[in-house]
Structure 1
């Protein structure tokens, strides 16, 4: 019995010791700010190190004292940023001013910390001048006589004025004089800043400082920094972006030379770090009717030493435990950056495909080559020449096509995110003229995908809309490859209906695709928390036998709700959709994937 009591007592004492070890370094923090300006109070608390340490069991009393001493300067800067230049700050550690406590005499335990701030009057600008300004520019609206004299307004106005000169080609623009005087009698501030724009600067040489597995001449060609051009920060940022988007580098750094060379030319130092050359990835998507889809890829970022990128993709879909309905694709693509000059890349592709869709079965192989042009940060296009030999089995029988085509794509991407956009526009237009060598048939396939996003309440609510338009021109539907035609139903068109459940009835129970399609989708996305979101959506699709709205195929309408789980890789999507009206309904449909539906 005595041993049990001793064990119990020792356990109790150990628990007390652990509790004491985990206790905060100080018991209480009182933060008092004079006046009734909530913005000032919030700025002060955000700047305070003591506020961040409150309740932290890992903080030592010496850290608390150091934070208290540092808070004098931090709180003073916070007052300046709100336009208060006559404030009084007291920080008391157990009743003693923190500034008077020796850093070598920190107490073993701190009970109460008091922060008392009297902001004093709010100052306004009397004089607010930055001279000279770049032609066609003006100072910021918050840096003017009569405005609240926030220190951040001065800093922002000076930074903007310098950048305006740099945008005008004056790379060495700098502040050369400044006079800032506070008049406490009438709570005004005079701020006068003098700039020296310096000469017009032109780009010199791109000097590579670090070694790379990518050849130096290829790096220079991809970067596209032309010697002799007038300096521009935007052009310098574009050079870095060109190198980054090759995927061959994990980091890219450009540094301006401090001293100008002959003719006011400025060399640019380049430092790069190579990305790991190889990478692989995989994806999984589940739909209740179509089954499981598994995909993977292998990527080589610097195949031949010129930042060439080889990517091999493989996918098996329609996995539901049976062989019928399963699809398989294997594709390889080689991209050669700056093959025809900066921003104009070349590509070569090879692909093989087996597709067992509800409307047809396809065996296909071929390849293509072409160019990819980036016109701006938002706009890019692609034009190629392709050949594919394909065998189709559908309700029209077994047919063979020997197709030569010239696929072209133009894409405008103004979204703020690809996986989870909340603002911006996206437009993708495809046009593919084709000629079947075996039959002599010539035609073209056109496709337009437009999307818009609008966020409210700091993007907690997002309205998302999508419009799809497709058309086959110049060839009869019975002479066109089945996968060039359009069907409705499934995750890409109208959710709530099985994939390709709506086609064109040609009699005798036979169905083919239509030559025209119109579709639209709308979603309301609500982010409940940082990790959970809810979605309500509705889709509509109309199929035309030969032209839009000719009534040859009918219309499907579906609607449903979804759940989103947000991760660092993008949201995981779970949607449940029901058919509202239209042919081809087969009960509720389930969709699971990564990223928003569009």
Structure 2
């Protein structure tokens, strides 16, 4: 027998005992968690009426918990101050209740004697636990019904129903015979999409974004995909798709759509600081339904290098207008532009660009985009002097994201690859810039409280000489995005005379061990390394440098606040300690 006694203030009920006739610790824990009386003992404000109501409800709750574990002959007794709770009249609640005792005899566990469900959809099979000799858990029976219904719905039979449910318990043999019958109904096709709510987004745009497949065979997965398409526009706070109760002529199924518009405007800001790069301030303003077609306009501004040692202050202002389903369902159109002024230690660059393109969502994890853009750059440095560039670029990128959380991933992986063919319109140079960023995450430990994270960055620019490329087409290493502990952009190509240029090839490696100390506090150990080469595709030896350090994380629930402290451990590009503060993991 098992007994638990909890001492609580005199104004609260006391659990005198919670006895279960078993040695199964998991069963005891499950039953105690299911008990409302146990919960009432933790509430000092519980009144006698509330305690009696909890005890009365516990009979059914505890029996259901026993059924879920396969025990169908259990006996439950609940006494309040020595009286069986079920015998206390509802309208004669005692003035006070001081103690509750719970006694449970689960009896033997039942096994499945007969386990039948028919008919099943072609190729469908019942769950492995639904077969004679297996424990007769009620949860398995429900899982079997749900699986059978899902099988027929996935085959287009939207109105499948449970037509037979014959469950017989043999208490002499401790077996449960289960015979289940399904009525698949007709194979149906999608009918009409019927809006049942108003929206500021135009009706034809809603239909185009949702991509309702009128006339095709019914599919529950297609319904979920339509809901996702509408949600990811950001224009709606609620999306609900409901199947009509009755089929129309020709076995067609109408679907009702109810939408609640999101607030159209949103504003946000962020900040990040490091000891060498200084303070970075950023902000954005967004309109979710600019032209009545769920278009999303986002304008962003950033100031970086404030109080840093990397030159002057950098400024960037950018905007992007995205039109969902502009080229068809799952294919958006967008236009974008930006102006920037970078005042770095070894160069100064002003840039303006404008572009347009399309993005395609292939699945929940894979998307790609392509664009054409015009870019004007004016760059000045001590080695080459003042130069101007006028480019026509064709950036293409693809992103594969299987992380469990964007700001604080613990499992999964992420890969983004970018390729940008370019041609100078004010000269004859043409070439290609390539960059890829891969990340992987693995959690270990009983509570997955230790995470190993790794990152590889690789990039190269081919087809033009260093002198004919602007600084942002080249690669540097050092700082928060590449090698922590090394000064920002401290590794590049030495042009002599104290002048540093970016390289045409780059490799970055990062590794972290993230350990959760409490629900909110975590510690991180990390090491980073970077390599920069003057030539395309790593044709020369280049130079390496590395950094390592420790970090502290404070989990806010929407992402951790990050503090990293690092120092150089390889190379000759810096010394001393650097620190970095931001929101979200470093990668």
> TM-score band, normalised by the shorter chain?
over 0.9
For normalisation by structure 1, the TM-score amounts to: 0.95
Cα separation, 2, equivalents of 1:444 and 1:579: 32
Does 28-37 or 308-317 show the bigger shift? 28-37
| Matched residue, 2:280 | 293
| Matched residue, 1:329 | 316
The alignment partner of 1:350 has SS state of strand
The alignment partner of 1:41 has SS state of helix
Cα separation, 1, equivalents of 2:350 and 2:500: 19
Deviation at 1:472?
0.3
| Matched residue, 2:556 | 567
| Matched residue, 1:11 | none
Cα separation, 2, equivalents of 1:86 and 1:226: 50
The alignment partner of 1:65 has SS state of helix
| Matched residue, 2:409 | 421
Deviation at 1:177?
0.5
| Matched residue, 2:467 | 478
The alignment partner of 2:531 has SS state of strand
Deviation at 1:161?
1.1
Deviation at 1:552?
4.5
Cα separation, 2, equivalents of 1:153 and 1:445: 56
Matched, 1:374 2:374: no
| Matched residue, 1:496 | 485
Cα separation, 2, equivalents of 1:124 and 1:24: 45
Map Cα deviations across residues 338-375 of structure 1 (whole Å, 9 max, x no partner). 11100111101121101112332111112111101111
Map Cα deviations across residues 190-247 of structure 1 (whole Å, 9 max, x no partner). 1110001111111111100000000011000000012111111111100000000000
Cα separation, 1, equivalents of 2:141 and 2:35: 23
| Matched residue, 1:8 | none
For normalisation by structure 2, the TM-score amounts to: 0.96
| Matched residue, 1:533 | 522
- Are the equivalent residues in 2 in contact too, given 1:517–1:541 (CA < 8 A)? yes
Matched, 1:430 2:412: no
**Unpaired segments of 5 or more residues in structure 2?**
1-7
- How large is the RMSD of aligned CA atoms in angstroms? 1.5
Cα separation, 1, equivalents of 2:422 and 2:367: 22
| Matched residue, 1:318 | 305
- Are the equivalent residues in 1 in contact too, given 2:13–2:40 (CA < 8 A)? no
Cα separation, 1, equivalents of 2:456 and 2:309: 35
Cα separation, 1, equivalents of 2:487 and 2:324: 41
Map Cα deviations across residues 101-134 of structure 1 (whole Å, 9 max, x no partner). 0122222221210000001001111111111111
Cα separation, 2, equivalents of 1:23 and 1:164: 55
| Matched residue, 2:534 | 545
Cα separation, 2, equivalents of 1:469 and 1:411: 15
Matched, 1:161 2:148: yes
Matched, 1:234 2:221: yes
Equivalent residue in structure 1 for 2:173, among 182, 186, 207: 186
Equivalent residue in structure 2 for 1:53, among 37, 40, 56: 40
Deviation at 1:407?
0.7
Deviation at 1:437?
1.4
| Matched residue, 1:409 | 397
| Matched residue, 2:188 | 201
Does 496-505 or 433-442 show the bigger shift? 433-442
| Matched residue, 2:137 | 150
Q: Trace 1:28-47 onto structure 2 (pairs within 5 A).
A: 28-47=15-34
Cα separation, 2, equivalents of 1:129 and 1:521: 55
Cα separation, 1, equivalents of 2:406 and 2:533: 31
Matched, 1:459 2:463: no
Matched, 1:506 2:495: yes
- Are the equivalent residues in 1 in contact too, given 2:188–2:217 (CA < 8 A)? yes
- Are the equivalent residues in 2 in contact too, given 1:359–1:500 (CA < 8 A)? no
Cα separation, 2, equivalents of 1:61 and 1:358: 74
Map Cα deviations across residues 31-62 of structure 1 (whole Å, 9 max, x no partner). 11111111211111111111111131121111
Cα separation, 2, equivalents of 1:24 and 1:387: 75
Matched, 1:586 2:575: yes
| Matched residue, 1:450 | 438
Equivalent residue in structure 1 for 2:375, among 388, 392, 402: 388
- Are the equivalent residues in 2 in contact too, given 1:206–1:225 (CA < 8 A)? yes
Distance 1:393 1:169, change over 3 A: same
Deviation at 1:142?
1.4
Matched, 1:346 2:346: no
